[in-house]
């Protein structure tokens, strides 16, 4: 059977609980590795180089683009974010499932470069609940909350470009849902073209 | 989220353990209903009308074809086998997952009429193991064993028409694999086109 890892892209509006969801998934499934992005954004308090992000100067980031070291990159709120190619391809070859947290544009770039990637979209139980979650953080100014809600509304219109949709209402169920998707995807015939040879058929 | 049932086709060479596998699946998952085929074959000992098959005379079977009551039918070893349409469509609408056990030709007919159906192919751990299982039954004459092995070899060449492949080595794992496929398929974006409306997004 399929022995490699999956390249999984996970997109979610801000406030959907994506961070906690991925943390719980990793606790349950040691085969999941989270890709670390490169960014020119300044580190926030508590963020660790090489774990949260690879923090780069704009010049260093440009050089990574020129050397084709990024499988996708995007400019967002005056900062650059990119996905380093080498780490991902090596980790998949080792059989790990690599998760990328990406915006809707980045997700599409991955799908066109890696058609076998699996695209997940996480939704909040409702938009009202999303607003409550964003407001509940108390870390955002009111105009920022409106901006985030607006962005979320735009993002969900891209849902048809994704393979699976998970509603993060009950987090344990959402974790189980994603675990089932990982199992099922590895059983797809298209990923097991050599199965008859392997079984001596 | 998707509330209907799935139409699942399961094909497997004779001796793959498909019967036990489906029985175990049904014990674990009360949402699975097994479709009952119509056939002109004579009942074997222990087979129950309406549970094993709907046993029909050739004339009755012909009338079902004429009245478009079968979603597919096939002639095999001088007998007719067919899938009654009404039971399946009603049961899916009620939210049950309906499993059809079909030969490779029947599976293709279902996929072309119901593109959203999910096609599973069950493989033995190896062809040597398949021979042992068929021989171990002690119910078949040697020439029948050869015939079944030959048929199995031909059947597996159709595997690329299927969505998923499950190797029935460890039956508990095979049951879990199919359960994961059922969960994952219901999360596919293509089955949840109304999700944004439902969530008030």
Question: What pLDDT was estimated at residue B52?
Answer: 86
> Does residue A149 or residue B165 have the better pLDDT?
B165
Residues lower than pLDDT 70 in chain B:
138-139, 201
Would A43 be classed as within a structural domain?
no
Q: Report the predicted TM-score, pTM, of the whole model to 2 decimal places.
A: 0.88
Task: Give me the mean pLDDT over the A43-53 stretch.
Answer: 91
What is the domain-level CATH number for residue A191? 3.40.50.300
Report the C-alpha gap between A86 and A93 in whole angstroms: 11
Domain boundaries, position B32: 7-36+95-198
pLDDT in tens, B115-174: 999 999 999 888 888 888 878 776 678 888 888 888 888 888 899 999 999 999 999 999
Question: What pLDDT was estimated at residue B85?
Answer: 92
Contact A168, A179 (CB under 8 A): no
Q: Of B7, B6, B67, B8, nearest to B38 (Cα)?
A: B67
Q: Is the pLDDT of residue A191 over 90?
A: yes
Would A75 be classed as within a structural domain?
no
Would A112 be classed as within a structural domain?
yes
Task: Give me the mean pLDDT over the A163-168 stretch.
Answer: 95
Strand partners, B166: B122
Question: What pLDDT was estimated at residue B138?
Answer: 67
Please give the C-alpha separations between residue A69 and each of A4, A60, A76, A159, B168, in angstroms, as whole numbers: 22, 11, 19, 28, 42
Task: Give me the mean pLDDT over the A131-152 stretch.
Answer: 80
Specify burial of residue A137 (Cβ count, 10 A radius: 0-12, 13-18, 19+).
Answer: exposed
Would A128 be classed as within a structural domain?
yes
Would A84 be classed as within a structural domain?
no
Residues 89-148 of B with CB under 8 A from A: 121, 123-128
Please give the C-alpha separations between residue B119 and each of A174, B7, B17, B187, in angstroms, as whole numbers: 25, 9, 17, 17
pLDDT confidence band for A138 (50 / 70 / 90):
low
Q: Is the pLDDT of residue A177 over 80?
A: yes
| CB contact A12 to B (< 8 Å) | no
Contact B192, B1 (CB under 8 A): yes
- CB-nearest partner of A181 from B124, B167, B184: B184
Would B72 be classed as within a structural domain?
no
pLDDT in tens, A77-110: 899 999 999 889 999 999 999 999 998 988 999 9
> Does residue A155 or residue A27 have the better pLDDT?
A27
> Which of A187, A194, A196 best tests the B interface by mutation, with the highest count of B CBs <10 A?
A187
Would B187 be classed as within a structural domain?
yes
Q: Which residue of A has its CA nearest to B169?
A: A199
Question: What pLDDT was estimated at residue A30?
Answer: 92
Question: What pLDDT was estimated at residue B51?
Answer: 85
Whether A126 sits inside 8 A of B192 (CB atoms) is no
Q: Of B90, B116, B95, nearest to B36 (Cα)?
A: B90
Q: How many domains does chain B have?
A: 1
Whole-complex ipTM: 0.87
Report the C-alpha gap between B148 and B12 in whole angstroms: 12
Would B52 be classed as within a structural domain?
no
Name every chain A residue with its beta carbon within 8 A of the beta carbon of B1. Answer: 165, 167
| 3-state SS string for chain B | CCCCCCEEEEECCCCCCHHHHHHHHHHHCCCEEECCEEECCCCCCCCCECCCEEECCHHHHHHHHHCCCEEEEEEECCEEEEEEHHHHHHHHHCCCEEEEECCHHHHHHHHHHCCCCEEEEEECCCHHHHHHHHHHCCCCCHHHHHHHHHHHHHHHCCHHHCCEEEECCCHHHHHHHHHHHHHHHHCEHHHCCCHHHHCCC
């Amino acid at each position: 059977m399929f022995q490699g890892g999956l390249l999984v892209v996970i997109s979610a509006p801000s406030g959907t609980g994506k961070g906690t969801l991925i943390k719980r998934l990793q606790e349950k499934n040691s085969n999941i590795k989270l890709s670390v992005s490169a960014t020119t954004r300044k580190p926030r308090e508590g963020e660790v180089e090489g774990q949260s992000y690879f923090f780069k100067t704009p010049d260093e980031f440009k050089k990574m683009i020129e050397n084709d070291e990024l499988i996708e990159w995007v400019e967002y709120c005056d900062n650059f974010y990119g996905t380093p190619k080498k780490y991902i391809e090596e980790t998949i070859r080792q059989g790990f499932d690599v998760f990328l947290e990406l915006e809707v544009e980045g997700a599409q770039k991955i799908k066109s470069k890696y058609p076998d990637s699996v695209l997940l979209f996480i939704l909040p139980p409702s938009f009202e609940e999303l607003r409550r979650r964003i407001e509940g953080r108390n870390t955002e100014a009111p105009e920022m909350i409106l901006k985030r809600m607006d962005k979320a509304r735009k993002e969900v219109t891209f849902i048809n470009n994704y393979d699976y949709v998970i509603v993060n209402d009950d987090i344990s169920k959402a974790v189980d849902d994603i675990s089932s998707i990982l199992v099922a995807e590895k059983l797809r015939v298209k990923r097991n073209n050599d199965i008859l040879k392997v079984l001596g058929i």
